[in-house]
Structure formats: C-alpha cells, structure tokens
Amino acid sequence: MKHVRKILMFASSTLVALTLTSCGEKPNSDAVKAAIEDSEGLTYSEILEKAKAEIGENQLEVYGNSSNFSLALAKFTEDTGIQVHNNKLGDAAMYEKLTYTIGNGKYVADMTLIQDGNKLQTQMLNPGYLYSYTPKDYKDKLSPEDLNPTGAIYLNKAFMYNNTNFDGTNASSAVKGAVTNQLTNVWQLAGTAEDANHIDGCSFKPGSQENVNLNFLAMLTSPEWCAKLKTAYKDFYGTDYVEEQDFANIGYKWIGEFLTNVKTNNSWHSSDGTAVKDIAAGLSGNMVYANYNKLKDCTETGVGKSDKDNITVADYEGTGVDGFGGFLFKMFTLVPKNAKYPYTACALINYVLSTEGYGAAWGGYVGYYSTNPDNAIAEGDKALSWWKKNCVIEDPKYVSSVYLDVYDYVTSFES
C-alpha cells in the first residue's frame, strides 16, 4: 500500500488531483506541493480546467480577513461555477484556527487571504503550514518583493490631519483647507514641545491591540529605516544624530518619543474607523495614524462633522513627509499544506490577482492596491509605486526576527 501511495503522489498532475478528491482520501502535503508546482507552469484557463475536474460539485473552503473578499468569491463562482465557502475571521482568530488545525493534520481550508507579516512568518511559513503559489500569468508582472510568498493586495496606514480651522465653537464660520503642511518631517511627532512645529497627541492604536501597528514600529528598527530616520533627523534638527546609550538605535528613539507623546495626551484609539471620523469632526490640526481606506467611513458633510474633505493626507503635500508618511502591508494568498483542492485554490489565487477578481472586491476604493499593476487604482488615490516610495514597507522576515524585543519595548509605554 505504501508503494502504491508513493506512486500516486509522484504521478501525473491529473492523478494527483484524483488522489486528493477520492472518497476518504486524506489531504497530503506532497500531493499539494506537486499540484502547486504543476500549476505554476499553467495558464489560468489550463488550471481552471483541472480545478473543475478536481472539485466537482464540492465546495472550496476559504479563510480570509477582508470583508470585501466575499465579493471576489461571489464573482468567481458566477464566472466559473465553482462553489466557495467563505470563513471570515479576524487575524488573531484565523491564526489560532489555522495553527491548531493544520498543525494537528486536520483539514480546514484550501486557500487563505491573510495578513500580519510577523505571524505569517513565525506561525505559518517557518513550520511549513502554508505554501506560496506564483501564477504563471502574473510572475513577470508582480514585483520581486511581492513573490515568495505571493502578495495579492496592499493596504496602507497614513498620517492624516484635520485641515480646518475649527476650534470647537466656530463650526458655522470655519472652513476646510485652512491648515496646510501640518506634518512635513516625522521628527515633529517625536521629540518634545520645545521642538519647532512639534505635534503632540497623534491618535494611534496601541501595538498590543493591533499587530500591524507593532509591525510598523518594528520595521523602523531596521538598517534601512534607521538610515532614513537619521536623514530626517538632520533635516529637522540641523545636526547629525549621535548614537545614544539609552536606545539600541535611532529607530527605538523615534518609537519611544512618539509613544510618549501619544500616551501623554491619551491618544490611544481602539478603532481606526472611529478615530478617522473623530479627527474629521474634531479640532484644527489634530493628527491620526490609521488605515487610509477608513476615509470611506466619513459620510457626513461640513466642518465639525465626519467629512472626509476635512482631512488631509500629510504625504500628499509638497514633496511628502521627510522620513515616511505611512506604512504599507499586504494580504497574502496562500495554500494550506493539507488542502483538499489545491488546483482550485490556485485558480482562485489567479482570479484574485485578475482585473475581474480584484475589481469586484477592492476596485474603486482608496487604500487598496493590487500587486498586479494592470489593475486600476481608485479615483483620487496614488499608484502603489508612489506609496512604496513614501512609506515604510513590511518585511515579514525582518519583523519576525526582532518582534519580541520590539514588543517588550513598545508595550512598556502602554502600561
């Protein structure tokens, strides 16, 4: 029997698919790898043919953390006839579910749309629970940094501020656009009140409550971002940064001073959406670091109300924010090692990267960017290439290598 199974695992791709879907057959990681390797040499139409033979009348199990993902899945079913069951979970719950099930050899999903570089690296990639698949149709279109693992969609967090001259009492006479260039250098958010153009109390969700924010701070300790912080420091203070014994590097210095300013002014927030609305409806110059896509939650009109026109993205002004204007992070498309329907999962990954799939779910919304450059950005937004030049970019391997040290440091400011 062992010899028969070994022959089946390394047989043609068609036989691999059959072994995965036969009655009572347990998903096999070698067979999943073989299906992915085969798929990487096929076009979407070729994979789709194998996917339909593989899954038949069964349904694909998918786990994703994006509310919009269901729209892409519905369109996929409409276009292909393949049934998909969507399991939407938050990051923490999804990682717990995947770690427990895959780690114990239990089938749970065929494809995942997942974020959080640190947990992805440490809990999924390092132990080999999720496999990356690079579609042939997009291999030469996607940037090298968006492969292995394959990233499908970028999101961003940005520093934004209230651009009105609203003081809490003058809503009837205050105007939009009265404040400009509120933030031009990241050191305005650190330092002390004695610094020129200092900005206190930027609204920020604590790193202990949101791993994306912790990952952002962790990236600032990397050699690349320490170098950029040093350049911005000299531009702001007019002198070179001299290493300080109290800080492991300049990244830790900026983090510590930024979090001190946030905590001192009680500017922790629990929800990016609520924070963005509050800043829009709030006082002149108030600053927030939050998901850019939350501007869609600002549906009111007028000064003193949650009107998106009351908010300016700091990086949009002049030459951008000296240092960085925000953070870019990805949602990755991956296949579990014990997927039942790997060809179908690969077909869906292709679809998410396509104009049809991406457009059905995220097209038209600011703050979402397909890694496929053929997919259009939302009206009024900047191209992904622009954001990459102006933002800190998450690197799962680096974040995971320093995460524990940065976590201990960051959370010491929250107590």
Q: What CA–CA distance (Å, rounded) separates 369 from 359?
A: 10
Amino acid identity at 235: D
**C-beta neighbour count of 3 within 10 angstroms:** 7
Cβ contact 232:322 at 8 Å: yes
Mean pLDDT of successive 10-residue segments in the chain (415 residues)? 35 36 56 97 98 98 93 97 94 94 95 97 97 96 95 98 97 97 98 96 95 97 98 98 97 98 91 97 97 96 97 97 98 97 98 97 95 95 96 98 97 91
Q: What CA–CA distance (Å, rounded) separates 204 from 106?
A: 38
Q: Do 2-154+330-383 and 156-328+404-411 show the same overall fold?
A: yes
- Look at residue 60 in the predicted model and tell me its pLDDT: 98
Q: What CA–CA distance (Å, rounded) separates 364 from 358?
A: 10
Q: What CA–CA distance (Å, rounded) separates 122 from 114?
A: 13
Cβ contact 62:111 at 8 Å: yes
Amino acid identity at 308: K
pLDDT tens digits along 35-70: 999 999 999 999 999 999 999 999 999 999 888 999
Mean pLDDT (the chain) is 92
Backbone angles phi, psi at 20, to 5 degrees: -80, -25
- Look at residue 29 in the predicted model and tell me its pLDDT: 84
Cβ contact 329:154 at 8 Å: yes
340 Cβ contact list (under 8 Å, min separation 6): 20, 21, 27, 58, 61, 107, 110
The residues facing 157 across adjacent strands are 291, 327
pLDDT tens digits along 348-378: 999 999 999 999 999 999 999 999 999 999 9
**CATH hierarchy code of domain 156-328+404-411:** 3.40.190
CATH topology of domain 2-154+330-383: D-Maltodextrin-Binding Protein; domain 2 (3.40.190)
- Look at residue 265 in the predicted model and tell me its pLDDT: 86
Counting every residue, how long is the chain? 415
Indicate the helix (H) or strand (E) that contains 76: helix 69-80
- Look at residue 20 in the predicted model and tell me its pLDDT: 38
Structure tokens at 245: 């014994």
* Domain boundaries along the sequence of the chain: 2-154+330-383, 156-328+404-411
- Look at residue 332 in the predicted model and tell me its pLDDT: 97
DSSP-derived secondary structure for 229-277: HHHHHHHHHSS-----TTSSSHHHHHHHHHHHHHHHTT-B-S-HHHHHH
Structure tokens at 136: 């042939």
- Look at residue 1 in the predicted model and tell me its pLDDT: 38
223 Cβ contact list (under 8 Å, min separation 6): none
Amino acid identity at 218: A
Secondary structure class of 198 (helix, strand, coil): coil
